[in-house]
Amino acid sequence: MEKISIVVFGDSILKGVVTIPESKNLFDVTENDSLSLAQKELGFELDNRSIYGNITSKGLVKLQKYLEKGGHADLCVIEFGSNDCDYDWNIFAEGAQLPAFESIPPKVPMNDYLANLEAMVNLCREHKITPVIMNLIPYICDKWFKTIAKGHDQAAILQFLGGSADTLGKNQEKYYKALMDFVSKKGLQLIDVWKLFSGLEKPEDFMCDDGIHPNEEGYKLLANLWIEDLPKIKKEF
């Protein structure tokens, strides 16, 4: 592979977050995150600015500051969505006064999500950096529901979801489909991790117990996707 430099703006997936049942921490970060594993194989320069819980509005600000300070790379990997489409589950804390369900917005509404992505892509191209999109990893809905229900009003959350944990996945899929349409319209290059994980016979075997983060085997799987697909990415500039 040609020697290239990559800067990454993403969330906990590309940070390498894992949840370990016996750990005292809310989450841990593996040394074997997918990009680090791929870097060892392909030898690219890596500046990974991914942050746990990141959303597009924060990522856009981080990218702006990076560029204002003279930051540059051949490729910029942009990976957002699973936090944007999520909700502030603390609204459902036990004993809390719940607002009307219809007034509870996702962390980043769809229109804002797409606008933020477009701004990030345009900034990259204005600075002669090739943007590369990584899409979403599908939730394991039953496990994610159990995770968000801990310490919260489970019955209220289930009511908000229309009686099914599968609503979590349906909401995420709306953002995934919008992202894929955006990628097509903007002529962007894609790392299709949704296709990879949704095509597994037992995707839960590659995910942590929280239902949203890959486990160590999942990160190895994702690393293999980077190793296979990164050499195919074409620099736009």
pLDDT of residue 94: 81
* CA proximity to 17, closest of 228, 218, 224: 218
* CA proximity to 50, closest of 222, 209, 177: 222
Q: How many residues does the chain have?
A: 237
pLDDT of residue 221: 98
DSSP 119: H
Alpha-carbon distances of 17 from 76, 173, 182, 186, rounded to whole Å: 20, 22, 27, 30
pLDDT tens per residue across all 237 residues of the chain: 788 999 999 999 999 999 988 787 878 999 999 999 999 999 999 999 999 999 999 999 999 999 999 999 999 999 999 999 999 999 998 877 888 888 899 999 999 999 999 999 999 999 999 999 999 999 999 999 999 999 899 999 999 999 999 999 999 999 999 999 999 999 999 999 999 999 999 999 999 999 999 999 999 999 999 999 999 999 999
Q: Is 229 helix (H, G, I), strand (E, B) or coil?
A: helix
Strands (E), the chain: 5-10, 17-18, 28-29, 45-48, 75-79, 130-134, 189-191
Label the pairing between strands 28-29 and 17-18: antiparallel
